[in-house]
Amino acid sequence: AQKVTQAQTEISVVEKEDVTLDCVYETRDTTYYLFWYKQPPSGELVFLIRRNSFDEQNEISGRYSWNFQKSTSSFNFTITASQVVDSAVYFCALGTGGFKTIFGAGTRLFVKA
Amino acid sequence: DVKVTQSSRYLVKRTGEKVFLECVQDMDHENMFWYRQDPGLGLRLIYFSYDVKMKEKGDIPEGYSVSREKKERFSLILESASTNQTSMYLCASSRLLVAETQYFGPGTRLLVL
């Protein structure tokens, strides 16, 4: 079975705090892709990152960083020095051998000023 | 920039009405998708299409149909709307490659009374 679990339903932080959003996936495929999308209040999901299963290097993009660990089937997302504009719902997703993508339930992040 | 547009941001319909949700993308993508988003359930795939006039059922196709007469346009049809179809509907498109990044429209929030 293929599944994505985002155990944190909602997280609330104060501006400038660091926050990590957890993502655990399940798949038996050896080749797969992992994604993070951001959904701001406007509603449109915005692509953040896509990683394939053979590339376990961590990635940093500005205040965003991603930690991919195959040993624990996790692909966690950290926002450093959070800002109010980071408030959104964040989705982790899994793509395997097809066109379908499996999304987690999402984590709603509130960043308070 | 990929642009995916949806015909309405908000829609209110009555039970039993036939409802059309339209989606247009301007990047010549082969794949198009319809999802519904409900709190705590993430995004669930209703239907997708990988070519004109081709369609595949997703995870929750019951009560829905789709139409893809032109490459850029993918319509979702609720044959007889019911209250349990009240939801946010998201359209997405991607290139015809395995587990490709999807680009989303702004969503249509449908209320069925």
Pairing of strands B19-25, B73-78: antiparallel
Query: Which residues of chain A lie closer than 8 angstroms to B98, CB-CB?
Result: 95-99
Residues B104 and B82: their CA atoms lie apart, in Å, by 25
- Other Cβ atoms less than 10 A from the Cβ of A60: the count is 10
Q: Give the model's pLDDT for residue B105.
A: 95
The pLDDT tens digits for A79-113 are 999 999 999 999 999 998 777 899 999 999 999 99
Kindly report the length of chain A.
Answer: 113
Of A78-82, B3-7, B13-17, the least confident: B3-7
Contact between residue A76 and residue A20 where contact means Cβ atoms under 8 Å apart: yes
- Inform me whether the pLDDT recorded for B54 exceeds 70: yes
The single residue listed with the structure tokens 């198009």 is: B32
* CA dihedral over A35, A88, B41, B4, signed as positive or negative: negative
B58 touches chain A (CB under 8 A): yes
Mean pLDDT score, A55-69: 91
Lookup: tokens for A33: 């892709």
- Please compute Rg for chain B using Cα positions: 13
CB contact under 8 A, A95 and B41: no
Which among B25, B91, B85, B34 is positioned nearest to B57, based on CA atoms? B34
| Chain A residues within an 8 Å CB radius of B34 | none
pLDDT score of B98:
74
pLDDT of residue B1: 67
Size of interface A-B (CB pairs under 8 A): 61
The residue of chain A with its CA nearest to that of B10 is A43
Listed residue (B62, B66, B80) closest to B17, CA to CA = B80
Residue B40 near chain A (CB below 8 Å):
yes
In whole angstroms, how large is the CA radius of gyration of chain A? 14
Q: Does B50 touch chain A (CB under 8 A)?
A: yes
pLDDT > 90? residue B100? no
Region B57-76: mean pLDDT is 96
pLDDT score at A18: 97
Which residue in chain A has the smallest CA separation from B94?
Answer: A99
Q: Which residue has the higher pLDDT, B6 or B98?
A: B6
Average of per-residue pLDDT across B7-14: 95
Nearest-by-Cβ selection for A104 from B42, B106, B107:
B42
What does the pLDDT read at residue B2? 63
